[in-house]
Copies of this chain bind each other. A is one copy, B any other.
Amino acid sequence: MDPTDTTAPGDLAAEAARRDAADPLAAVRDLFALDDGVTYLDGNSLGALPRSVPGRMAEVIEREWGELRIRSWEESGWWTAPERIGDRIAPLIGAAPGQVVVGDSTSVNVFKAVVAAVRAAQAAGTGAGADAGTAGHAAGAGAGAGAGAGESGAGAVRRDEVLVDAATFPTDGYVAESAARLTGCRIRAVAPGDMAAAFGPRTAVALINHVDYRSGRLHDLPGITAAAHAAGALVVWDLCHSAGALPVELDAHRADFAVGCTYKYLNGGPGAPAYLYVRRDLQPGFDSPLPGWNSHADPFGMESAYTPADGSVRGRVGTPDILSMLALEEALTVWDGVSVEAVREKSLALTDFFLECVAHHVPPGTVESVTPAAHPERGSQIALRCPGAGAVMRELTRRGVVGDFRRPDVLRFGFTPLYTSFADVERAARILGDVLADERRA
Docked complex: A170-198 residues within 8 A CB-CB of B: 170-171, 173-175, 177-178, 180-184, 186-187, 189
CB distance from A187 to the nearest CB of B (A): 7
Q: 1/0 contact trace for A127-143 toward B, CB 8 Å?
A: 00000000111100000
Answer whether residue A42 sits at the interface, using C-beta atoms and an 8 A cutoff.
Answer: yes
CB distance from A155 to the nearest CB of B (A): 24
Which one, B42, B53, B214, contacts A69 given CB within 8 A? B42
Answer whether residue A97 sits at the interface, using C-beta atoms and an 8 A cutoff.
Answer: no
Complex Cα gap A182–B288 (Å)? 11
Q: Are B54 and A325 in contact (CB under 8 A)?
A: no
The interface stretch among A217-225, A294-302, A421-429, A430-438 is A294-302
- Residues of B within 8 Å of A173, CB to CB, are 304, 306
Complex Cα gap A166–B178 (Å)? 29
Docked complex: A54-90 residues within 8 A CB-CB of B: 54, 57-58, 61-62, 64-67, 69-73, 78
Complex Cα gap A42–B106 (Å)? 32
Which one, B62, B136, B177, B303, contacts A177 given CB within 8 A? B136
Q: Are B33 and A66 in contact (CB under 8 A)?
A: yes
- Residues of B within 8 Å of A189, CB to CB, are 304
The interface stretch among A17-25, A250-258, A263-271, A366-374 is A263-271
Docked complex: A307-326 residues within 8 A CB-CB of B: 317-325
Which one, B65, B293, B327, contacts A107 given CB within 8 A? B293
Answer whether residue A158 sits at the interface, using C-beta atoms and an 8 A cutoff.
Answer: no
CB distance from A305 to the nearest CB of B (A): 8
Answer whether residue A406 sits at the interface, using C-beta atoms and an 8 A cutoff.
Answer: yes
With A48-B69, A272-B321, A323-B269 known to touch, is A293 a contact of B104 (CB < 8 Å)?
Answer: no
Q: Are B170 and A65 in contact (CB under 8 A)?
A: no
CB distance from A247 to the nearest CB of B (A): 25
Complex Cα gap A135–B168 (Å)? 21
Which one, B36, B72, B323, B407, contacts A301 given CB within 8 A? B407
Copies of this chain: 2
- Residues of B within 8 Å of A78, CB to CB, are 270-271
Complex Cα gap A317–B110 (Å)? 11
Q: 1/0 contact trace for A27-47 toward B, CB 8 Å?
A: 000000100100010100110
With A69-B40, A177-B137, A304-B170 known to touch, is A61 a contact of B45 (CB < 8 Å)?
Answer: no
- Residues of B within 8 Å of A292, CB to CB, are 105, 107-108, 171, 174-175
- Residues of B within 8 Å of A111, CB to CB, are 289-290
Of A54, A107, A269, the most chain B CB neighbours within 10 A belong to A107
Answer whether residue A404 sits at the interface, using C-beta atoms and an 8 A cutoff.
Answer: yes
Answer whether residue A273 sits at the interface, using C-beta atoms and an 8 A cutoff.
Answer: yes
Q: A61-B269, A270-B319 are in contact. List 7 more A-B contacts (CB 8 A).
A: A33-B62, A36-B67, A105-B292, A136-B186, A170-B306, A178-B289, A178-B291
What are 24 of the A-B contact pairs (CB < 8 Å)? A42-B70, A54-B61, A54-B66, A57-B58, A57-B61, A70-B402, A72-B270, A73-B270, A78-B271, A104-B104, A104-B108, A108-B108, A111-B289, A135-B182, A169-B293, A169-B302, A171-B292, A174-B293, A177-B291, A182-B289, A271-B319, A271-B325, A272-B323, A323-B324
Seen from chain A, the residues whose Cβ lies within 8 Å of a Cβ on chain B are 33, 36, 40, 42, 45-46, 48-49, 53-54, 57-58, 61-62, 64-67, 69-73, 78, 104-108, 111, 115, 135-138, 166, 168-171, 173-175, 177-178, 180-184, 186-187, 189, 214, 261, 263, 269-274, 288-294, 296, 300-304, 306, 317-325, 327, 397, 402, 404, 406-407
